[in-house]
Structure 1
Amino acid sequence: MYKLIAIDIDDTLINDDKEVTPATQTALEQAVAAGVVVTLATGRAYASAQAIARQTGLNVPIITYQGALVKNLMDEKVLYERYVPQDAVRKLFNYCVEHNLHLQTYIDDKLYAREENQKLVDYATLNGTKYYIEPDWEKLVPQKTPKMLIIDDPDFLDELAPILRGLLGDSVHITKSKPHFLEIMHHEGTKGLALEFLAAHFGCELSETIAVGDSWNDHEMLEAAGLGVAMANAIPALKDIADFVTLSNNEDGVKYAIDKFILQTAQ
């Protein structure tokens, strides 16, 4: 019997129209009614994620910033937080300024960048996020950040990731949430570790958890969970490690997984 299900938001819970369909919404409610803890696990900022969580009627802690922040929806109490180490923040800013890369950082759940450009505008539009410009990046370095993000061409980011791992060392976790988003967190800021934390918080075993996702930033969570579910629209590498591949995000894949493994109504 599964007791907790953690669901990614983008391209997983929501369809390409950025909506939770009525059918999926009903499945979430039925899972909660069956006594299962339903939570979200996303790379998004808390402010962006909690809007979707509230819309779906959830009232539990949610996993945000790839696992760097776990926060209650009801009283907004922080249960788990990990910030990018200061030394890594400075090195990353230096590198991105020197190589003219677009770097964003989150401080107090607000999105900051050094300059306004199309990458920033498109990102903010995609996530419904307000942004702030701070040309003097030295002011941003000492402030705590759960996540930093570089936006660029997917192939370039694939080449950049190992360079940054060499530069920043083991203190950080580097992953991709979308092909053109390279995200940098504290090394314990992963959805997998956040899922472990939440399972312990709710007193259930990892074997009693389900994780559902579509991107490589979900792989730690799928590997940690008792049942790892990849969407039909997931990247091939995630499908390879998943225990089950459900329907796509446009075919209520989350509902299908809940019906099959929690409600046991799907064939």
Structure 2
Amino acid sequence: MIRLIGIDVDGTLVGSSGSVNPSVWAAAERARAAGIHLALCSGRPAFGISTEFASKLDPAGWHVFQNGASIVDFRTGSSRSTALPPGTVDLLVSVARRTQAILELYSDREYASESPSEWARQHAALLGVPFEIRRFESLPGPIVRGQWLLPKGEADAFMSQSHSGLELATSTSPLMPDTAFVGITAAGVSKGSAMQTIAAQYGVDMRDVMYVGDADNDLSALKVAGHPIAMANASPAALRAASRTVGHVDEGGLAQALEMAIASARR
């Protein structure tokens, strides 16, 4: 019986229009009524529109942000955060300033980017926050995640480099189709580790966890969930990691996964 569902945002919950298919919210309501816990599990931060999505899934539940670096209890507002290792932030800032690559640094509740680029502006709009050029040093700690915004064709080469002591995960958004997001967290911090933490909080065995995703940053969660589900629009790696595939995000494929979980609860 499925008792907990982890739900990715971009490409899973949110489609190319930037909105959520109405069938998904209706299915989510039925899932909650069936006693199933719903947890947002996103690379996005715990502010902006992602918190609205999480609250709509479960206003008093546990939710995952920052690729697992922030695990937030919406009932109490408390957060379980894992900071980047010492020296990592300074190195990232140095590289960004030298190369003019687009870097974003995140704490639990704020972020900073020094880039004036159109991509940085578009990403602020995607997050649902005002665009602001902000010095990295102005961001209060702890810094839990860094993120590079790269041309989609450059992500594989970047990921192939050595990044000792760090966890890297790539993701995409249908709203910024030419952009690859490379999230950087401390080693061992991932969506998979976060889903295990939430399952323990709810007293749910991982065999009774469904995870629904579409991108490479979902792989760690897909691999530990007893019911790994990929969207039809998922990356090749995510499709391989899944036991089943549902419809495209723009066609409300997530609702199909939720209905599968509801059916399991009725058995």
What's the TM-score once normalised by structure 2's chain length?
A: 0.90
8 Å contact 2:211–2:229 — kept in the other structure?
yes
Q: Which residue of 2 aligns with 1:154?
A: 152
Q: Distance in 1 between matches of 2:85 and 2:120?
A: 24
8 Å contact 2:125–2:131 — kept in the other structure?
no
One-letter identity of the residue aligned with 2:230: A
1:84-118 Cα distance to aligned partner (Å, 9 max, x none): 11211111211222222111111342221123221
One-letter identity of the residue aligned with 1:200: A
Unaligned 5+ residue runs, structure 1? none
Q: Distance in 2 between matches of 1:36 and 1:106?
A: 31
Q: Distance in 2 between matches of 1:142 and 1:255?
A: 39
1:37-87 Cα distance to aligned partner (Å, 9 max, x none): 111100011013211122445420100001111101232111x21111121
8 Å contact 1:4–1:37 — kept in the other structure?
yes
8 Å contact 1:86–1:141 — kept in the other structure?
no
8 Å contact 2:112–2:139 — kept in the other structure?
no
* SS of equivalent residue, structure 2 residue 218: helix
Q: Which residue of 1 aligns with 2:175?
A: none
8 Å contact 1:111–1:131 — kept in the other structure?
no
1:140: how far off? 5.0
Unaligned 5+ residue runs, structure 2? 173-178
* SS of equivalent residue, structure 1 residue 259: helix
Q: Which residue of 2 aligns with 1:177?
A: 171
Q: Distance in 1 between matches of 2:252 and 2:54?
A: 17
1:230: how far off? 0.2
Q: Distance in 2 between matches of 1:19 and 1:115?
A: 27
Q: Distance in 1 between matches of 2:30 and 2:101?
A: 45
8 Å contact 2:213–2:231 — kept in the other structure?
yes
Q: Which residue of 2 aligns with 1:11?
A: 11
8 Å contact 1:230–1:242 — kept in the other structure?
yes
Q: How does 1:53-72 map to 2 (within 5 A)?
A: 53-56=54-57, 58-72=59-73
1:223: how far off? 0.5
Q: Which residue of 2 aligns with 1:143?
A: 141
* SS of equivalent residue, structure 1 residue 260: helix
Q: Which residue of 1 aligns with 2:126?
A: 126
Query: RCO greater where, 1 or 2, for CA within 8 Å and sep 6 or more?
Result: 2
Q: Which moved more, 1:10-19 or 1:237-246?
A: 10-19
8 Å contact 1:111–1:130 — kept in the other structure?
no
Q: Which moved more, 1:99-108 or 1:31-40?
A: 99-108
Q: Which moved more, 1:176-185 or 1:214-223?
A: 176-185
* SS of equivalent residue, structure 1 residue 12: coil
Number of residue pairs matched by the alignment:
258
1:155: how far off? 2.1
Q: Distance in 1 between matches of 2:204 and 2:102?
A: 41
8 Å contact 2:69–2:190 — kept in the other structure?
yes
Q: Distance in 2 between matches of 1:62 and 1:108?
A: 13
Q: Distance in 2 between matches of 1:38 and 1:141?
A: 31
8 Å contact 2:30–2:262 — kept in the other structure?
no
Q: Distance in 1 between matches of 2:264 and 2:39?
A: 19
One-letter identity of the residue aligned with 1:175: A
8 Å contact 2:8–2:40 — kept in the other structure?
yes
* SS of equivalent residue, structure 2 residue 47: helix
* SS of equivalent residue, structure 2 residue 11: helix
- Runs of at least 4 residues of structure 1 off by over 4 A? none
8 Å contact 1:247–1:253 — kept in the other structure?
yes
* SS of equivalent residue, structure 1 residue 173: strand
Q: Distance in 1 between matches of 2:189 and 2:138?
A: 20
- Pairwise CA RMSD of aligned residues? 1.9
8 Å contact 1:7–1:13 — kept in the other structure?
yes
1:130: how far off? 2.7
Q: Distance in 1 between matches of 2:188 and 2:82?
A: 7
Q: Which residue of 1 aligns with 2:74?
A: 73
Q: Does 2:238 correspond to 1:244?
A: no
1:189: how far off? 2.3
* SS of equivalent residue, structure 1 residue 104: strand
Q: Does 2:202 correspond to 1:202?
A: yes
